[in-house]
Structure 1
Amino acid sequence: MAPFQLAECYRSGVGTNQDHTKAAGLYRSLAERGILQAQIALGRCYENGEGVDQGYTTAIEWYSKAANQGSEDGRLHMVFYYDQGVSKSCEKGFEWYSKSADQGHSYGQYMVGYCYFYGNGVTQDYAKAAEWYRESAEQGNRYGQYYLGGCYKNGHGVPEDVETAAFWYRRSADQGHQYSINQLKSLGK
């Protein structure tokens, strides 16, 4: 599906200048036609404020549309994890993210790590957080890479190691993750 691939190129800046607004517009045109991947991608745009005004309620609406068509990823993202316009249920969120993580989904693995790191829906455990971030990071998830870099930078659940932190920040930064780029600059890398 060429329009979706073009949107992905705009989102990541591969082969063209990065343009989240154009990416979101293409995702929207496909999402409105019922394309599952585009509905999830548009939900992520709203969740992260990429190319659109951040809106958790709108993000969940798009995730719900995908979930209602049978998308496991849509179901995962639809979790009422965020306390932004929907009921908060960290325990339910952790349950759904764990199911996804156990099936090898990198975003679910990252979110399980996030839950362990902050104690959302589960007892806080930096070591388990780092383990799940690593699972996600090794699959190429830029968020898992960024947060694993943070674990190494600050010695949370792993030995403090600035070089390893820079390694993971760099992998995330190569995907355009701005916070990782900022961390590399602050480390002088």
Structure 2
Amino acid sequence: MTSEPSRTSSLALAALLALSPVASAQTYKKPLKGPQLEGPVSPQQGRDQAAPETSDAPLANGTDRAADSAYGAFQRGFYLTALRLALPRAETGDPAAQTLIAEIYWNGFGVARDTKKALEWYRFAANGGNREAQFALANILLKGDTVPADKKAGRALMEKAAAAGHSRAQFNLAQIIVAERPTWQGYKRAMPWYQKAAEAGVPDAQYAMANIHAEAQGVTVNNEVLARQWLSKAAQAGMPIAQLEYGIWLANGRGGAKDEKEALQWFGRAARQRNVVAQNRLARMYAFGIGTTPDVVKAGAWHVVARRAGHTDVQLDRRFADMSPLDRKRAIDLANRLTQRLALR
């Protein structure tokens, strides 16, 4: 995998980097194509294990978490204790306690999973104005998860949760609007909700805003500078497809200054999150010496990793075949180590 003259390499790589990942066999469904709805936490096996942290946790409706003993027990994984402490408050009409109980029964945390009980408590809490319960119940109804789907009721609850400031509900509502009307006007109606969710730090919404401004969907003209800013936020939040596309924008100087060194770093981040297209782009950066000195072993290793995942690249195949036997062996050894590390992530 020998290096070529830098000018030819830069031109060849720029053309390849300019290709949208969506054109590849390893596609990623953009949030704009939604809806991708996020519902209650997935059931977990076992008893008294730590509950997952989320930005919109069950009692994030103004309750003082530090002073809330039931929620504190829930967060520490003492689910039966949390249930015992929450029940008296729930029975007196506390929506936050009702939501907590619903989460416990829905996920089977410390108890046998009981979706019927969970739905009852979600309904009580949703009717009491708890946005977490509204969000969870909305997704259950929209998906028809354990109950017959009810799109109308699900959407109404999603609107309530979004209006109450639930960031994931805001993103989901925008997705629903776009799915119902995937036109410029649909994006225009959805954009305020995308923006609220994006400003609240939802990576999918930030990525959607980048696409909206890049493609002029719902806005009068495209704005690549603004699109790049939103893409940067989504990348920094850890979204692999955003990291890949941000790297492409940096490598091509789209929406701002060209920075091949930083592009290399973002390709690396996405590649280590098992984004196959990023793995291929990283191999090309090392192969052509873009943003770094040429490294045939690293180029070959990442090419092998991407190829094992199903990504085809005839040009890199030829370069890999032209490597010396020793370099090819080193590349395969490194690819094996990389594959092991990726499997552990």
TM-score (norm 2): 0.35
> Which residue, 156, 178, 185 being the options, matches 1:153?
178
Q: How far off its partner does 1:165 sit?
A: 2.2
> Which residue, 68, 71, 86 being the options, matches 1:67?
86
Q: How far off its partner does 1:116 sit?
A: 0.6
Distance in 2 separating the partners of 1:183 and 1:65:
42
Distance in 1 separating the partners of 2:87 and 2:117:
18
Structure 1's consecutive aligned runs of 4 or more residues displaced over 6 angstroms after TM superposition are none
> Which residue, 126, 129, 136 being the options, matches 2:154?
129
Q: How far off its partner does 1:103 sit?
A: 1.2
Distance in 2 separating the partners of 1:126 and 1:82:
23
The answer on 1:90 being equivalent to 2:111 is no
User: Contact 1:106/1:139 (CA < 8 Å) preserved in 2?
Assistant: yes
Which segments of 5 or more consecutive residues in structure 1 lack a partner in the other structure? 1-19, 21-29, 47-56
CA deviation map 1:136-173 (0-9, x unaligned): 11111112212111111212xxx442122222121122
The answer on 1:76 being equivalent to 2:99 is yes
Percent identity, please: 15
Which structure carries more relative contact order (alpha carbon 8 Å, separation 6+)?
2
Tell me the residue number matched to 2:124. Answer: 99
Aligned length: 143
Distance in 1 separating the partners of 2:168 and 2:79:
19
Deviates more, 1:162-171 or 1:71-80: 71-80
Distance in 2 separating the partners of 1:59 and 1:180:
34
User: Contact 1:94/1:122 (CA < 8 Å) preserved in 2?
Assistant: no
Distance in 2 separating the partners of 1:105 and 1:64:
18
> Which residue, 205, 209, 226 being the options, matches 1:184?
209
Distance in 1 separating the partners of 2:107 and 2:154:
18
> Which residue, 144, 148, 173 being the options, matches 2:198?
173
CA deviation map 1:82-133 (0-9, x unaligned): 2677533222222111111111121111122111111124211222211110
